[in-house]
């Protein structure tokens, strides 16, 4: 059975066992990546817009897996649609 792809609930990065964040007790956290969440705390104290701005610098990395490359502005627009659905940013 194929496992459904999971994404960091803070930055939207695809998750696998190698990039999972950690809880306060050192166990793996299934919701957040190691770049956003470590030892039970978020590593960045930021707003959703600040996170989008931060993530937009990685558009070249994202484009490696895309059939049609996106511009930085297109990527930001996509994140503005997607991020409000993530656990960390849900109102």
Determine, yes or no, domain membership for 90: no
Please give the share of the chain, as a percent, with pLDDT higher than 70: 97
Distance CA 8, CA 21 (A): 9
Determine, yes or no, domain membership for 51: yes
Domains contained in the chain, number: 1
Determine, yes or no, domain membership for 46: yes
Residues 87, 31: contact at Cβ < 8 Å? yes
Dump pLDDT digits (tens) for 42-64: 999 999 999 999 999 999 998 99
Structural domain for 76, as ranges = 6-85
Query: Residue 35: which pLDDT band, with cuts at 50, 70 and 90?
Result: very high
Determine, yes or no, domain membership for 91: no
In this structure, the number of other CB atoms found within 10 A of the CB of residue 13 comes to 19
Determine, yes or no, domain membership for 1: no
| Structure tokens, 85 | 């659905």
Dump pLDDT digits (tens) for 1-29: 556 889 999 999 999 999 999 999 999 99
Determine, yes or no, domain membership for 12: yes
Determine, yes or no, domain membership for 49: yes
User: Which of 31-51 are b and which e, b meaning 16 or more Cβ less than 10 Å from the residue's Cβ?
Assistant: bbbbbbbbeeeeeeeeebeeb
Distance CA 45, CA 65 (A): 29
Task: Read off the pLDDT of each residue in 76-89 and give the average, rounded to a whole number.
Answer: 97
């Amino acid at each position: 059975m194929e496992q459904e792809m999971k994404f960091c609930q803070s930055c939207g990065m695809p998750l696998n066992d190698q990039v999972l964040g950690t809880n306060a007790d050192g166990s793996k956290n299934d919701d957040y990546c190691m770049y956003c969440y470590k030892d039970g705390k978020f590593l960045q104290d930021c707003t959703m817009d600040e996170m989008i701005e931060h993530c937009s610098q990685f558009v070249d990395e994202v484009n490696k897996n895309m059939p049609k490359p996106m511009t930085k502005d297109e990527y930001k627009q996509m994140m503005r649609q997607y991020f409000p659905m993530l656990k960390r940013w849900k109102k």
